[in-house]
């Protein structure tokens, strides 16, 4: 080959290499997060086919204007102290936990529908700061407990007062929303139950059972391993199952027929008795199941663990073992009877969004890798879904990955319309956390009736930390709070 041709090829190669290096360098540089930033400055605005107004211009309302009632005597008042504690999980297990009030789960909060709740969070010694998010409770935005979006993290020695009215009914939970991928796992969570104002006449056993994994020790409630509890035959029982882990938990209830009465704090319509159906609860989800205690023992277990809770009809009954049930997972899409919902039978939506989860090569905060992407964009360029108050909103959630993503929208419950193109046929199925399995596709809808800036993220909290985080924002709402190292606000 001619010498000039070889030289030309080398020169071209060098130029291409330099260009590539410059391009990669810029991508790396651009991906780095500043030390402080606003949830409003980032993200790709997506108006879902609705009007695009300037959302944070003149006359914008700050999230901290959306508060619960500031005045009035609370019906229920409690203090939650975030503190480190060594916790006994039974059967020889102990753990260095981060707790509310020295125990895991934190104290169960039980209020009645309509109660004004006042919770004072005190941080004793959690160095990174804490907050409390009331998962599934559709509180006013300023009470939502997201560090850097609705408040600043509460640092050691500080306190913060949450006040809101418990308007819903059912099973919820609370957890820290500062560095939540670490803080929830270590124990900063508890149950939040809203009971009807009228108590049932019959004495029922109403028990919350949170499944949580403490690095290998799986607890139901506060104990690992086998637990027993005597229950007189004939007693109506309600078990409020909660999965506070970042992965799905399969619960097995064995021994008698039961019904699934509620999902994510919403009663199902016309639930029928079922038997031997494993209940797959995605991260953050809740199922309420009910049954009548029979003459013999029944039990609740967790898939592939020895952790179980056995209800014995007779205290002298020998130990009962909970077998993993073999049937297909319970399917909420076909369970119960249909009923017209608040959304009616409309097919018109004011905004329709797509939320497509995939993986992509790129830089996230300066880290090269194969990262989670939403609609092809990496955090913090993930979408900002813009809505207006009163809108009827549709979301199509597409999981284009091989992992399960429990998608959680704050401040709202969404109605599941279809899965993989098949319309749901059972009871209206409202969720705040939807377990979107690998390659699944869902359509959900909700009414935009709770103004604010709301996180919408994967409740596999390490996924959220690694970029599966976005927001739904109401136009005309802005936040004075900032994310990043400067203010020390890191919600995920």
From residue 284, give the alpha-carbon distance in Å to each of 159, 184, 373, 409, 434.
26, 11, 22, 11, 9
Whichever of 138 and 427 has its CB closer to ligand C2O, that residue is 138
Compare residues 150 and 308 and give the one whose CB is closer to ligand C2O: 150
Dist CA 308 CA 191 (whole Å): 19
Residue 277, both tokens: 């159906």
- Is residue 489 a contact residue for Cu ion (CB under 5 A)? no
Q: Provide, rounded to whole angstroms, the least separation between the CB of residue 350 and ligand C2O.
A: 25
Regarding 405 and contact with Cu ion (CB under 5 A), the answer is yes
Which of the listed partners (Cu ion, ligand C2O, none) does 458 bind, with a CB threshold of 5 to 8 Å by partner kind? Cu ion
- What secondary structure letter does DSSP report for 377? B
424 binds Cu ion (CB under 5 A): no
Report d(CA 16, CA 19) in Å as an integer: 5
Residue closer to Cu ion by CB (options 162, 372) is 372
From the list Cu ion, ligand C2O, none, pick the one residue 459 interacts with, judged by a Cβ distance below 5 to 8 Å according to partner type.
ligand C2O
- Are 219 and 308 spatial neighbours (Cβ–Cβ below 8 Å)? no
Among 116, 364, 378, 458, binds Cu ion (CB under 5 A): 458
191 forms beta bridges with: 173
Cα separation, 429 vs 437, whole angstroms: 17
Of residues 247 and 276, the one with the C-beta less far from Cu ion? 247
CA angle, residues 254, 329, 423, in degrees to nearest 5 = 140
Among ligand C2O, Cu ion, none, what binds residue 460 when CB lies within 5 to 8 Å by partner kind? Cu ion
- What is the rounded distance in angstroms from the CA atom of residue 140 to the CA atom of residue 171? 18
For residues 185 and 198, what is the distance between their CA atoms, to the nearest angstrom?
35
Return the one option of Cu ion, ligand C2O, none that residue 408 interacts with (CB less than 5 to 8 A, by type): ligand C2O
In the complex, which residues of this chain contact ligand C2O (CB under 6 A)? 133, 135, 175, 177, 284, 408, 410, 455, 457, 459
Verify binding: residue 245, Cu ion, rule CB under 5 A: no
Q: Residue 405: which of Cu ion, ligand C2O, none does it interact with, CB under 5 to 8 A by kind? A: Cu ion
Q: Do the beta carbons of residue 324 and residue 301 sit within 8 Å?
A: yes
**Nearer Cβ to ligand C2O (160/296):** 160
Stretch of 137-145, 193-201, 397-405, 409-417 lying at the interface with Cu ion (CB under 5 A):
397-405
What residues between 77 and 116 interact with Cu ion by CB under 5 A?
Answer: none
User: In this structure, what is the dihedral angle of CA atoms 172, 169, 136, 290, given to the nearest 10 degrees?
Assistant: 50
- Cβ 406 to ligand C2O shortest distance, Å: 9
DSSP line for 130-182:
B--EEET----GGGS--BTTTB--B-TT-EEEEEEE--S-EEEEEE--SSHHH
Three-state SS for 470?
A: strand
| Tokens found for residue 132 | 């409390």
Angle of CA points 464, 467, 471, to nearest 5°: 75
Q: Which of 259, 371, 412, 463 lies at the binding interface for Cu ion (CB under 5 A)?
A: 463
Name which position in 176, 460, 469, 489 contacts Cu ion (CB under 5 A).
460
Tell me which of Cu ion, ligand C2O, none is bound by residue 133, counting a contact when its beta carbon lies within the kind-specific cut-off of 5 to 8 angstroms. ligand C2O
Asked if 485 and 155 touch (Cβ cutoff 8 Å), the reply is no
Residue recorded with tokens 């999981």: 399
Question: How many residues touch Cu ion (CB under 5 A)?
Answer: 5
Measured from the CB atom, the residue of 128 and 350 that comes closer to ligand C2O is 128
Report the residue number, 176 or 313, with the smaller CB distance to ligand C2O: 176
**Binding flag, residue 177, Cu ion (CB under 5 A):** no
Residue 117 or 455: which CB sits closer to ligand C2O? 455
Residues of the shown chain interacting with Cu ion in the complex, contacts defined by CB under 5 A: 405, 458, 460, 463, 468
């Amino acid at each position: 080959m001619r010498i000039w041709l070889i030289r030309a090829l080398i020169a071209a190669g060098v130029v291409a290499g330099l260009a590539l290096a410059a391009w990669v360098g810029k991508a790396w540089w651009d991906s780095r997060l500043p030390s402080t930033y606003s949830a409003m400055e980032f993200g790709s605005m997506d108006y879902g086919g609705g009007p695009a107004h300037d959302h944070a211009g003149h006359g914008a309302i700050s999230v901290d204007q959306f508060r619960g009632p500031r005045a009035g005597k609370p019906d229920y008042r409690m203090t939650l102290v975030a503190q480190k504690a060594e916790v006994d999980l039974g059967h020889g297990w102990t753990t260095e936990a981060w707790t509310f009030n020295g125990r895991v789960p934190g104290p169960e909060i039980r209020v009645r529908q309509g109660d004004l709740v006042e919770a004072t969070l005190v941080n004793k010694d959690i160095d990174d700061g804490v907050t409390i998010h009331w998962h599934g409770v559709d509180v006013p935005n300023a009470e939502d407990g997201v560090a850097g979006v609705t408040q600043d993290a509460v640092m050691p020695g500080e306190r913060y007062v949450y006040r809101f009215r418990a308007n819903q009914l059912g099973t919820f939970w609370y957890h820290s929303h500062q560095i939540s991928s670490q803080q929830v796992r270590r124990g900063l969570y508890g149950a939040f139950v809203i009971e009807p104002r009228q108590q049932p006449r019959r004495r029922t056993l109403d028990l919350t059972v949170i499944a949580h994994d403490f690095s290998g020790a799986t607890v139901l409630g506060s104990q690992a391993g086998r637990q027993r509890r005597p229950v007189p035959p004939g007693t109506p029982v309600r078990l409020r199952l909660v999965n506070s882990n970042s992965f799905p938990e399969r619960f097995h209830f064995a021994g008698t027929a039961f019904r699934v009465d509620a999902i994510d704090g919403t009663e199902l319509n016309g639930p029928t008795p079922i038997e031997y159906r494993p209940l797959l609860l995605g991260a953050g989800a809740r199922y309420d199941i009910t049954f009548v205690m029979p003459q013999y023992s029944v039990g609740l277990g967790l898939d592939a663990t020895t952790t179980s809770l056995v209800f014995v009809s007779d205290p002298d009954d020998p130990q009962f073992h909970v077998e993993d049930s073999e049937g297909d997972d319970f399917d909420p899409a076909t369970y119960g009877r249909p009923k017209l919902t608040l959304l009616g039978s409309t097919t018109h939506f004011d905004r329709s969004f797509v939320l497509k989860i995939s993986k992509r090569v790129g830089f996230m905060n300066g880290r090269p890798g194969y990262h989670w992407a939403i609609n092809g964009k990496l955090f913090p360029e993930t979408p900002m879904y813009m809505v207006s108050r009163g809108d009827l909103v549709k979301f199509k959630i597409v999981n284009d990955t091989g992992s399960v993503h429990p998608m959680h929208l704050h401040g709202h419950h969404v109605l599941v319309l279809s899965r993989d193109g098949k319309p749901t046929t059972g009871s209206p199925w409202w969720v705040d956390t939807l377990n979107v399995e690998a390659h699944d596709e869902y359509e959900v809808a909700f009414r935009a009736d709770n103004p604010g800036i709301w996180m919408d993220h994967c409740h596999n909290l390490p996924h959220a930390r690694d970029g599966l985080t976005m927001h739904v924002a109401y136009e005309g709402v802005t936040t004075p709070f900032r994310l990043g190292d400067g203010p020390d606000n890191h919600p995920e």
